Amino acid sequence: MSLLRWGYQVIEAGCGEEALALCSATAFDIVISDWVMPGMSGIDFCRQFRALPHEAYGYFILLTSKSGKGEVAHGLDVGADDFLTKPVNADELHARLRAGERILGMQRELVDKNRLIGTTLAELQKLYDSLDRDLIEARKLQQTLVRERHRDFGRGTASILLKPSGHVGGDLVGFFEISARRIALYSVDVSGHGVASAMMTARLAGLLSGASPDQNIALTGGTEGQRDAWPPEMVAARFNRMMLEDMQVEQYFTMAYAEVDLQTGRVQMVQAGHPHPLLIRQDGTIEQLGQGGLPIGLLPNVVFHRIEARLRPGDRLFLVSDGVTECPAPDGQELGAEGLIEILARNEGLEAQALLEALVWNLNSHAGGQDFPDDVSGVLFHYRG
């Protein structure tokens, strides 16, 4: 037989039913079937062969004396791959078999590649799941960095706003006591999103912690109640040097840092690439403070400048992140400093926490109900005098 001479392993069946039973037990590479057979026809055999649950593809050749287009179309429709007209020419059969081998080879390559893709996708899914867990933990970490949302210092109160976006951001807001009569407020925004930004934010939180004065970069030592602090511009300079020389990281951050004398209302602050601090007077007027300044951790030997102001009883100082001023409307238009001032002016009669809630509500309205693309944060200090 020519098939054996050509190197094929051949198994024969006397009818379609016998052939189907053999094919059910073994996944053959190529099947050659007559169209007309006792019992089951070649067409029915082909149809049932295609329904077998084999992973590998089998190449099916129908032998027929039929040459009409309708018969050929019917054979293709039930799953035949090729046709040979009887009587069969050996050279043509050999050529058709080699063509079938090429198709089967390509099919096996495709299966192998799909299997590799499936394995790779499964590994990627595991990686993404791991990253999602890391991001969830990073979001939890970000929330735990703000341990105190409100504190009454006697002559004034400080209130915190922190509404994380869907991303893990780098916003950090807070306050700490310098001495019995002086407090510090800060609003920080680390560049980027994700775990790296969250870890940097956590590190900065430790360096601005009132619970660990020995590690606080703004404090100069002394006993509790008698501690002193570096001037705000020196705090920014110390951070800048630390970022460039000690940490050696790719991130940078913006910051507004203010020191308030509770007895006199004197405010000393620094603005390092952060949105302008806002002074909300008791009469409703709102002043923007500062000239902008450079972010911390970008350039060496930056000179940061001190900003001074005076709080009168009933005045409020608001340090806010760019997640507020850069909050986009559905058309892409950012809220801007003017939009923020307008919201604060409309709600200036509200108490601190209610004012912050009104700000978030107005931001939601401005954003058209969409999720905020960046963290929304700020610290509001109300001076009683």
Q: What is the pLDDT of residue 166?
A: 63
Structure tokens at 305: 């400048």
Lookup result for tokens 């067409």: 43
DSSP string covering 64-121, please? Answer: ES---HHHHHHHHHHT--EEEESSPPHHHHHHHHHHHHHHHHHHHHHHHHHHHHHHHH
CA-based nearest residue to 164, from 134, 130, 135: 135
Residue-wise pLDDT for 233-260, tens only, equals 999 999 999 999 887 788 899 999 999 9
Q: What is the spatial distance between Cα 20 and Cα 37, in angstroms, rounded to a whole number?
A: 13
- Of 299, 316, 313, nearest in space to 359 by CA: 316
Q: What confidence score (pLDDT) does residue 296 get?
A: 97
Q: Which residues pair with 143 in a beta bridge?
A: none
Predicted local confidence at residue 226, as pLDDT: 65
Write the Ramachandran bin of 39: left for phi over 0, alpha for psi from -120 to 50, otherwise beta.
left
pLDDT for the residue 192? 80
- Provide the pLDDT for residue 71: 78
Describe the strand order of the beta sheet including 156-163 as a list of residue ranges: 150-152, 156-163, 376-383, 316-320, 278-280, 286-288
Please give the pLDDT value at position 4.
83
**pTM for this entry:** 0.68
Q: How many CB atoms lie within 10 A of CB 33?
A: 21
Ordered mean pLDDT values, 10 residues apiece, the chain (385 residues): 81 90 92 90 92 90 78 86 86 89 90 89 84 67 71 95 76 93 96 79 89 89 72 97 86 96 97 98 95 94 96 97 94 94 94 95 91 90 95
What domains are there in the chain, each with its CATH number? 2-114 (3.40.50.2300), 145-383 (3.60.40.10)
